[in-house]
């Protein structure tokens, strides 16, 4: 059973990750995929605030790697997936194309103001992902 | 990197679509940049067409969009005001020549010496300057002017929430121009700036006297344009590399920018560079290949020639609203967090960069001052050398080079023991001055009958020491 969890470095994502690991613990042959999407709209700011591309990549990995490590402590097969693009679209596309059985996602992300304007990522993902989705509050 | 042909035609369908989106998105900004410099809209529109088409062939970063930009426009304002259009075109040609040479000499390799505090200062000052440049058209204007600008601003922020296919600024322009036209209100329009192009740009020599006097006038502008253009272009290339997970040849891009500006000046366009915003739009819309940039330019010109008569009716306050949005997205709002978190010296560099740019109205001077300041701060930081006395051994902590030798020498002024051991394990001897300082200390102490032993030199330090003794 392939479980995916989408993280973005927010506290909601931490709770989603904990939930996903718990879920995986109770599933036979569970595999966990920790997804982070580097938002196209933030790439410019990433490069302005951090000089080296290697460090930018390291910062992105830092968002997913702790979750992978945490899962490994519980003997869960886990791997990180770093995507680039528009977060909701990339998550939907990945989940639908990679035979993910269950997606876990935080109810909100880091940028509450933007979500007020544009709607939350989780809302859009729930609408269009083909697998069951757990939204963690 | 892909083969050149692949870079052109590897993604043709998506490139056509994204090129159309970018072509549409280029119109409002090109008009507004013309308005900043105070030139005929043609000068910016031709520039955007020529830059995009030429850079599609000679650029180093496929899918990057170059055109008339706000940064370059701001540099050109005073040249236009004091000397007129012909000098703007000549400065553009000269900028091209300078950039070609900088590209050949590998200027892109120098980019890593520009700290991000300076880049942040650059984009923030740019955002502020674009914002300020719009104020004369608002302050003291009629209620109607304000209303049109504010409604446009609201539209460009709200439209993307519901509809993303066509760039919001363009929709805002169409809506607001229609409203102005139907209601018959009297506002300043694009038509008051000059005529719209109805033909393709043609080749001509800028009408200037070819003498030293002219060179003296345009050279400072061309140097500033070269720096500003390359800075923004190479930053954009880096962003696009990341977005597309591909690499690009930055020196080729620098050369390409030069060629594009060189051609651009002869076809009556004002100097341009890569547009971060439009390039991101291009990639987001699926553009990956050279064809997307090429088609953006062609489509832009096609639209302008078809729509020229309508474009002249666009009210100026609408462009003001759009430029305020551009200034908001140019400004890096993360800078406030940066100021709180970054080391104090980096924050100071950023603030000084912004302050110098705003004071001199010259983006290039601010960047140069920022780089010099951060270099000095770096040297000052690294030149701190401490000497600690541990168990009778003087331990040198910190690199020993021309800027740190005096502190090193001074530390041994008051020594009274009969034998001194100086340990260099935590140090590095960098240059002749450092070796000189070591010898000076030894001589001084030996003249007081104190024996001196150097120990713990690493191999390169030892080599240098032996070389000079």
* B220, pLDDT greater than 90: yes
Instruction: Tell me the shortest Cα–Cα distance from A118 to chain B, in angstroms.
Output: 6
The Cα–Cα gap between B399 and B350 comes to 27
- Eight-class DSSP state of B249: -
Where residue A113 falls among pLDDT bands split at 50, 70, 90? low
pLDDT higher than threshold 80 for residue A116: no
pLDDT tens-digit series, residues B408-430: 998 888 888 888 999 999 999 99
In this model, does residue B97 exceed pLDDT 70?
yes
User: How sure is the predictor about B395, in pLDDT bands with cuts at 50, 70 and 90?
Assistant: very high
Task: Determine the residue of chain A that is closest to B111 in CA distance.
Answer: A51
Neighbouring CB atoms inside 10 A of B195's CB total 12
pLDDT tops 80 at residue B390:
yes
Per-residue model confidence as pLDDT tens digits over B303-335: 888 887 788 888 889 989 988 998 998 999 989
Between helix B344-360 and helix B116-134 the angle, nearest 10°, is: 30
A18-44 as b/e: b if 16+ CB within 10 A: ebbbebbeeeeebbbbbbbbbbbeebb
Among A46, A47, A48, the strongest candidate for a mutation testing the B interface, having the largest count of B CBs within 10 A, is: A48
The residue among B123, B243, B275 with the most chain A CBs within 10 A of its CB, best to mutate, is B243
If one compares A130 and A111, the residue with the highest pLDDT of the two is: A130
Check A48 against B123: CB less than 8 A apart: yes
Note whether B332 contacts A48, CB cutoff 8 Å.
yes
Lowest mean pLDDT among B33-37, B350-354, B388-392, B429-433: B388-392
d(CA B318, CA B153): 8
For chain B, what is the mean pLDDT? 91
* pLDDT over 80 (residue A111): no
Interface of A with B (CB under 8 A): 38, 40-41, 43-51, 53, 56, 84, 86, 117-118
Contact B119 A86 (CB under 8 A): no
Q: How confident is the model at residue A17 (pLDDT cuts 50, 70, 90)?
A: very high
Helix (H, G, I), strand (E, B) or coil at B248: coil
Return the higher-pLDDT residue of B135 and B65.
B65
Q: Round to whole Å and give the CA distance between B394 and B387.
A: 6
CATH T-level assignment (fold) for domain B386-468? Transcription Regulator spoIIAA (3.30.750)
Task: Label residue A115 by pLDDT band (50, 70, 90).
Answer: low
Contacts of A116 in chain B (CB under 8 A): none
Set of chain A residues whose Cβ sits within 8 Å of the Cβ of B242: 38, 43, 46-47, 53, 56, 84
Residues ≥6 apart with Cβ < 8 Å to B413? none
Helices (H) and strands (E) in chain A, counts: 6, 5
pLDDT of residue A119: 61
**How high is the pLDDT of residue A51?**
79
With an 8 Å Cβ cutoff, are A48 and B119 in contact?
Answer: yes
CA gyration radius for chain A? 14
**Is the Cβ pair B334, A117 closer than 8 Å?**
no
* Contact partners, residue B449, CB within 8 Å, separation at least 6: B418
Nearest-CA distance B243 → chain A (Å): 7
The whole-number average pLDDT for the span B437-442 is 92
Which ipTM did the prediction report?
A: 0.84
Does residue A20 register a pLDDT over 90?
Answer: yes
Q: What is the DSSP letter of B112?
A: G
Comparing A127-131, B166-170, B229-233, the range with the smallest average pLDDT is B166-170
Q: Domains of chain A by range and CATH?
A: 2-136 (3.40.50.620)
Q: Which long-range contacts (CB under 8 A, 24 or more apart) does B413-420 make?
A: B415/B445, B415/B448, B415/B450, B417/B392, B417/B450, B418/B449, B418/B450, B418/B451, B419/B450, B419/B451, B419/B452, B419/B453, B420/B394, B420/B445, B420/B450, B420/B451, B420/B452, B420/B453
- The answer, yes or no, to whether residue A117 has pLDDT greater than 60, is no
Q: Which residue has the higher pLDDT, A113 or A52?
A: A52
The pLDDT, as a whole number, for residue A118 is 55
**Testing the interface with A: which of B159, B239, B283, B378 to mutate, by most A Cβ within 10 A?**
B239
Residue ranges of chain B assigned to CATH 3.30.750.24: 386-468
With contacts defined as CB-CB under 8 Å, which chain A residues touch B250?
Answer: none
Residue B60 near residue B248, CB atoms below 8 Å: yes
What is the arithmetic mean of pLDDT over A38-67? 89
Nearest-by-Cβ selection for A48 from B120, B161, B241: B120
Strands B419-423, B451-455: pairing is parallel
Q: pLDDT (tens digit, 9 = 90+) per residue, B180-194?
A: 989 988 888 877 777
Neighbours of B454 (CB within 10 A): 18
Q: What are phi and psi of B204, to 5 degrees?
A: -155, 155
Q: Is the dihedral of CA B238, B244, B249, B254 positive or negative?
A: negative
| CB spacing of B239 vs A43 below 8 angstroms | yes
Please give the pLDDT value at position B46.
92
Q: pLDDT for B120-136, tens place per residue?
A: 999 999 999 999 988 88
What share of chain A in percent tops pLDDT 90? 48
**Residue A44 to residue B116, Cβ atoms within 8 A:** no
CB-closest option in B235, B245, B338 to A49: B338
Categorize the per-residue pLDDT at A114 as very low, low, confident or very high, splitting at 50, 70 and 90: low
Q: d(Cα A8, Cα A125) in Å, to the nearest integer?
A: 14
Residue-level pLDDT at B103: 95
A-B interface: how many C-beta pairs under 8 angstroms? 48
B135-177 per-position pLDDT tens digit: 888 888 888 899 999 999 999 998 888 887 788 888 898 999 9
Q: Name the closest residue on chain A to residue B162, using Cα atoms.
A: A118
Give residue B292's pLDDT band: very low, low, confident or very high (50, 70, 90): very high
Write b or e for each residue in B154-175: b if 16 or more Cβ atoms lie within 10 A of its Cβ, otherwise e.
ebbeebeeeeeeebbbbbbbee
């Amino acid at each position: 059973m392939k479980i995916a969890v989408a993280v973005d470095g927010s506290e909601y994502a931490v709770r989603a990750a904990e939930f996903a690991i718990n879920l995986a613990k109770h599933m036979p042959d569970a595999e966990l995929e920790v997804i982070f999407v580097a938002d196209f709209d933030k790439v410019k700011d990433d490069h302005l605030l951090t000089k080296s591309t290697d460090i930018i990549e390291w910062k992105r990995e830092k968002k997913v790697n702790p979750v992978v490590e945490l899962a490994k402590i519980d003997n869960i097969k886990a791997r990180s997936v770093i995507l680039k693009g528009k977060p909701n679209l990339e998550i939907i596309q990945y989940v639908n194309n990679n035979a993910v059985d269950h997606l876990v996602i935080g109810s909100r992300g880091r940028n509450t103001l933007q979500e007020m304007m544009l709607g939350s990522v989780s809302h859009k993902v729930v609408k269009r992902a083909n697998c069951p989705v757990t939204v963690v509050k | 990197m892909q083969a050149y042909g692949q870079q052109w035609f590897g993604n043709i369908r998506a490139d056509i679509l994204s090129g159309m989106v970018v072509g549409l998105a280029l119109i409002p900004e090109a008009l507004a940049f013309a308005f900043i410099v105070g030139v005929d809209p043609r000068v910016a529109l031709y520039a955007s067409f020529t830059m995009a088409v030429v850079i599609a062939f000679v650029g180093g970063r496929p899918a990057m969009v170059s055109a008339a930009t706000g940064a370059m426009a701001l540099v050109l304002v005073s040249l236009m005001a004091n000397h007129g259009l012909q000098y703007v075109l000549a400065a553009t040609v000269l900028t091209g020549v300078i950039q070609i040479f900088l590209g050949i000499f590998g200027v892109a390799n120098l980019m890593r010496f520009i700290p991000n505090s300076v880049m942040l200062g650059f984009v923030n000052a740019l955002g502020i300057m674009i914002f300020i440049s719009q104020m004369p058209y608002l302050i003291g204007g009629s209620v109607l002017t304000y209303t049109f600008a504010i409604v446009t601003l609201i539209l460009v922020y709200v439209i993307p929430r519901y509809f993303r296919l066509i760039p919001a600024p363009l929709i805002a322009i169409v809506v607001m121009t229609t409203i102005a036209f139907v209601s018959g209100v009297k506002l300043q329009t694009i038509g008051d700036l000059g005529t719209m192009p109805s033909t393709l740009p043609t080749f001509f020599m800028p009408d200037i006297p070819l003498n030293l006097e002219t060179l003296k006038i345009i050279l400072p502008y061309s140097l500033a344009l070269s720096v500003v253009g390359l800075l923004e272009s190479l930053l954009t290339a880096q962003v696009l590399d990341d977005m597309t997970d591909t690499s690009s040849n930055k020196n080729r891009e620098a050369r390409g920018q030069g060629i594009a500006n060189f051609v651009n000046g002869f076809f009556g366009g004002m100097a341009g560079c890569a547009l971060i915003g439009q390039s991101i739009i291009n990639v987001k819309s699926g553009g990956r290949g050279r064809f997307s940039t090429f088609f953006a330019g062609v489509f832009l010109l096609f639209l302008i020639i078809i729509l020229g008569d309508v474009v002249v009716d666009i009210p100026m306050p609408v462009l003001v609203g759009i430029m305020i949005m551009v200034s908001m997205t140019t400004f890096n709002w993360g800078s406030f967090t940066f100021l709180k978190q970054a080391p104090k010296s980096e924050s100071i560099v950023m603030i000084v960069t912004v302050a110098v740019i705003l004071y001199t109205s010259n983006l290039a001077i601010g960047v140069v001052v920022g780089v010099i300041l951060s270099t000095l701060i770096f040297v000052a930081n690294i030149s701190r050398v401490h000497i600690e006395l541990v168990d009778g051994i003087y331990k040198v902590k910190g690199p020993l080079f021309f800027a740190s030798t005096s502190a090193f020498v001074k530390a041994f002024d008051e020594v009274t023991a009969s034998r001194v051991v100086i340990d260099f394990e935590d140090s590095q001897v960098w240059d002749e001055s450092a070796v000189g300082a070591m010898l000076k200390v030894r001589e001084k102490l030996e003249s007081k009958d104190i024996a001196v032993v150097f120990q713990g030199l690493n191999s390169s330090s030892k080599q240098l020491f032996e070389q000079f003794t």
